[in-house]
Each structure stands twice: as structure tokens, then as C-alpha cells.
């Protein structure tokens, strides 16, 4: 990757909004052209952590939930927010157990991403979890989830048909399909 000097100059940052999940700032800047400008930034307080559980026979799990922000029902890989101060793998383990009841013996970090990097600093990470044991889920009070176990190849087909649209789910499933062609 090419490293270059930041061509933007930040003059002033004003907080516009803050809650437990995000902070929004308005920033006065000097643009790369040298002209004055403004930039708005949404800073996320958590890292988006997605988990693709894979069973010994090649099955995976999806969770379905209604997404308030988009006003749609969405099928996704299990995921949640992990505080930037917390251990990311511990957070992934917590989210997998919470949403599916699964625990895993083996974990592999397969992808890091920047989500909507033109206006946010959101970071997304995808893990693969294997050596699974089924237990009981423990949903958050904001979650009304359906859990679906299916062959990995079927989850991949849902991505290709456009039935899975969450970016971490799409990117993670496609990446895993490339890393492990035997799954599909």
C-alpha cells in the first residue's frame, strides 16, 4: 500500500451530537486544493465485530432481525459492537454466544474493513469460529432475533441473490468463500 502525507488540514472541530454509540462532529478544514471547506464526521464508539460460525459439516448460522434504521428485515452473520477499549476477540465470543448460543474452540480473524469511510471512522472486523458447541442464546433487550442454520453454500447464494445486504456479512462470506473453496 502506498503511504502519503495527509493533504487535509484541520482548523477547528465542533461536537454536534453525542450518545453512547456515536459522536458527530463538524470540522472546518483546508481541502487538498488549499481552499477552505467543511467536513462532517460520524465517529463510532464501538468496533463492528462479525462472526461466521462454521460447523464440522460446513454449516453456518445467520441471524434475522428488523433493522430500525433501514425499516427492513435483515439476515446477517452474528455480530455486534465491541468497545474500542475492550479485547476484540472476547467481544466476538460474547456476541456469538449472545446471538446464537454457540461457543467456539478455534477463532481466526479473516478480515478488517472500513465501513463508509468517506463520512465515518467505523471499523469492521470478521472472525471465523469453529469447533462449535451449542448452548442457549441470551439476546440483548434490543434484539428480537431469529436464528437459522444452513449450509455455507446456501448462505453464499443468499449473498449472490441480494438477500443478504449487510456489508460485513457480504464481505465476510465472500472472503471466506475465497479462503475455503471446499465450503461451497
Specify the CATH number for the domain of residue 70.
Answer: 3.90.79.10
Domain that holds residue 30: 9-44
3-class DSSP string for the chain = CCCCCCCCEEEEEEEEEECCCEEEEEEEEECCCCCEEEEEEEEECEEEEEEEECCCCCEEEEEEEEECCCCEEEEECCEEEEECCCCHHHHHHHHHHHHHCEEEEEEEEEEEEECCCCCECCEEEEEEEEEEEECCCCCCCCCCCEEEEEEHHHHHHHHHHCCCCCHHHHHHHHHHHHHCHHHC
Same domain? 28 vs 85: no
In a domain, 122, yes or no: yes
Q: Is 130 a catalytic residue?
A: no
In a domain, 24, yes or no: yes
According to the model, what pLDDT value does residue 143 have? 74
- How, if at all, do strands 79-83 and 22-30 pair? unpaired
Cell of 83: 468497545
According to the model, what pLDDT value does residue 144 have? 85
Same domain? 77 vs 32: no
Burial of 101 from C-beta contacts in 10 A (0-12 / 13-18 / 19+): middle
Contacts of 8 (CB under 8 A, 6+ apart): 29, 30, 31, 32, 39
According to the model, what pLDDT value does residue 139 have? 81
- The domain tally of the chain equals 2
Same domain? 98 vs 37: no
Same domain? 79 vs 132: yes
Question: Which is catalytic among the residues 27, 98, 108, 143?
Answer: 143
Same domain? 35 vs 53: no
According to the model, what pLDDT value does residue 1 have? 66
In a domain, 4, yes or no: no
Tell me if the pTM is above 0.75.
yes
3-class DSSP string for 147-168 = EEEEEHHHHHHHHHHCCCCCHH
* Mean pLDDT for back-to-back runs of 10 residues, the chain (184 residues): 87 97 97 96 97 98 95 96 96 96 98 94 97 91 89 98 97 97 90
Same domain? 33 vs 68: no
Same domain? 69 vs 130: yes
Angle, vertex CA 66, rays to CA 60 and CA 68, nearest 5? 135
Amino acid at each position: 500500500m502506498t503511504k502519503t502525507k495527509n493533504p487535509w488540514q484541520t482548523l477547528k472541530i465542533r461536537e454536534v451530537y453525542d450518545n453512547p454509540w456515536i459522536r458527530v462532529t463538524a470540522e472546518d478544514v483546508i481541502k487538498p486544493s488549499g481552499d477552505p471547506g467543511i467536513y462532517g464526521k460520524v465517529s463510532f464508539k464501538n468496533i463492528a465485530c462479525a462472526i461466521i460460525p462454521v460447523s464440522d459439516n460446513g454449516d453456518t448460522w445467520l441471524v434475522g432481525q428488523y433493522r430500525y434504521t433501514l425499516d427492513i428485515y435483515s439476515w446477517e452473520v452474528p455480530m455486534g459492537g465491541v468497545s474500542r477499549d475492550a479485547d476484540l476477540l472476547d467481544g466476538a465470543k460474547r456476541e456469538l454466544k449472545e446471538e446464537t448460543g454457540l461457543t467456539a474452540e478455534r477463532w481466526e480473524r479473516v478480515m478488517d474493513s472500513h465501513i463508509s469511510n468517506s463520512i465515518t471512522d467505523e471499523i469492521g472486523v470478521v472472525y471465523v469460529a469453529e469447533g462449535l458447541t451449542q448452548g442457549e442464546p441470551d439476546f440483548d433487550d434490543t434484539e428480537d432475533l431469529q436464528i437459522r442454520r444452513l449450509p455455507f453454500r446456501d448462505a453464499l447464494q443468499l449473498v449472490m441473490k441480494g438477500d443478504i445486504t449487510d456489508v460485513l456479512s457480504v464481505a465476510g462470506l465472500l472472503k471466506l468463500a475465497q479462503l475455503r473453496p471446499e465450503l461451497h
